[in-house]
Structure 1
Amino acid sequence: MSNTAFTPLQNAFSRLDRLGAWGANLPLRLFLAWEFFEAGLEKWYGQNWFGQLQFPFPFDLLPAELNWQLSMWVELIAPLLLLLGLGTRLASATLMVLTIVAIAAVHWPAHWSSLAELALGYSISDHGHGNYKLPLIYLVALLPLLLGGAGHLSLDGLLRRKV
C-alpha cells in the first residue's frame, strides 16, 4: 500500500494537532473552573462545617475557620485563573492540593479493612463508604493542565508569545 493512501488521514490528524495546540485544554479549564468556583460560592454563602472534620497534617494545625477561608478563596480565585488561562500550572497545583486534602478529610472512607471495602468509596453517593470518585476525576482532569499548561488559547500562551 502506498503512502498516498494515508495522506487524507495524516492531513486530518495534522489539522487536529494544530487545533489541539490552541484549544485542547480549554474544555478542561472551563469544566474545572465551573466545578471549583461553584464549590467556592457554596462556601461563600454557606455555614462553616469544617469544625467537624479531621484534616491531614499540616492543615490539622490550623483553626477550622482559617481552613474554611483558605478553601473558599482557593476555590474562587484559582478557577478564575483557569478560566483566563493565567498561571494555569500554579492554579492547577493549588487545586490539586485542595482536592487531596478534601479527599483525606471528607471523601475517603472512615473505616475500611480490605481493598473491596475501599473500592466501595469509588462512587458518587452518600452511603457511608466514602465518596472519592468525583474528586479523583478532578485530580485526573487537573493533571494535563499541571503538566502541559493552558495551551495557546490562554493568557499564559499570549504572554509566552510576547516574550
Structure 2
Amino acid sequence: MPPFVTPLFNHLDRVGAWGADLPLRLFLAWEFYESGLEKWNGQNWFADIQSAFPFPFNLLSADLSWQLSMWVELIAPLLLLLGLGTRFATAALMVLTVVAIAAVHWPAHWSSLAELAQGYAISNKGFGNYKLPLIYLIAALPLLLNGAGRFSLDALLFRRNA
C-alpha cells in the first residue's frame, strides 16, 4: 500500500468509530417519520388489509393497529435521530416493517421462486413490492446489532453510568 494511504485509513477509522452509524440513523429516521406523517395526515385504510396482518397483529382492531403503527413511525425515528434507545427503536421499526411486508408488500399469489422474485421490485405491477421494506430491514440491522455508536445519547448515558 502507498505510504499516504495508511494515515488516511487511520483517520477514516477514527471518524467511523464516532459516526459510521449516523447515515443509517438519518436515512431510517427520515423514511419512517415520513410514513408516520402520512398516517397522521391520512385516513385509516388498515381495515382493508387487517386480515393479512400476521399473528398476533391480526387480532388487534384496525384502529388500534393504525394508531400503533403511526406512533411507532413518529416516535422511533426521533429516538434514532437522538441515538436514544436506539436498539429498542430499531427493533420496533423492524417489527413494523415485517408486518408491513406480510400485509402489504408480499405477493398475494406465487407458486415458484421466479414469481416470488418478481416482487423484489419498486413497482405496483401485481407481484408484490417488498424491495424497499427489505432495504429498510437490512439498513436497520447494524443499528440493532451495534447500537447507535459513540455519537449518540445512548453512548453519553452509558459512559455516565459506567
Band of TM-score, shorter chain: over 0.9
Letter in 2 for 1:157: A
* Runs of 4+ that moved beyond 6 A: none
How far apart are 1:158 and its partner, in Å? Answer: 1.3
The equivalent residue for 2:79 is 81
CA deviation vs aligned residue, 1:103-124 (integer Å, no higher than 9, x gap) = 0000000000000000000001
How far apart are 1:6 and its partner, in Å? Answer: 5.2
Matches within 5 A, 1:95-114: 95-114=93-112
**RMSD over equivalenced CA pairs, Å:** 1.0
The equivalent residue for 2:69 is 71
Letter in 2 for 1:41: L
Q: Which has the larger radius of gyration?
A: 1
Runs of at least 5 residues in structure 1 that lack an aligned partner in the other structure? none
Provide the C-alpha distance between the structure 1 equivalents of 2:56 and 2:2, rounded to a whole number of angstroms.
Answer: 55
Does residue 40 of structure 2 align to residue 44 of structure 1? yes
TM-score with structure 2 length normalisation? 0.95
The equivalent residue for 2:138 is 140
Question: Which of 21, 27, 32 is residue 25 of structure 1 equivalent to?
Answer: 21
Instruction: Tell me whether 69-78 or 10-19 shows the greater mean CA deviation.
Output: 10-19
Letter in 2 for 1:78: A
Letter in 2 for 1:71: S
How far apart are 1:9 and its partner, in Å? Answer: 2.2
The equivalent residue for 2:9 is 13
Instruction: Tell me whether 8-17 or 87-96 shows the greater mean CA deviation.
Output: 8-17
Any idea what SS the aligned residue of 1:136 has?
helix
Runs of at least 5 residues in structure 2 that lack an aligned partner in the other structure? none
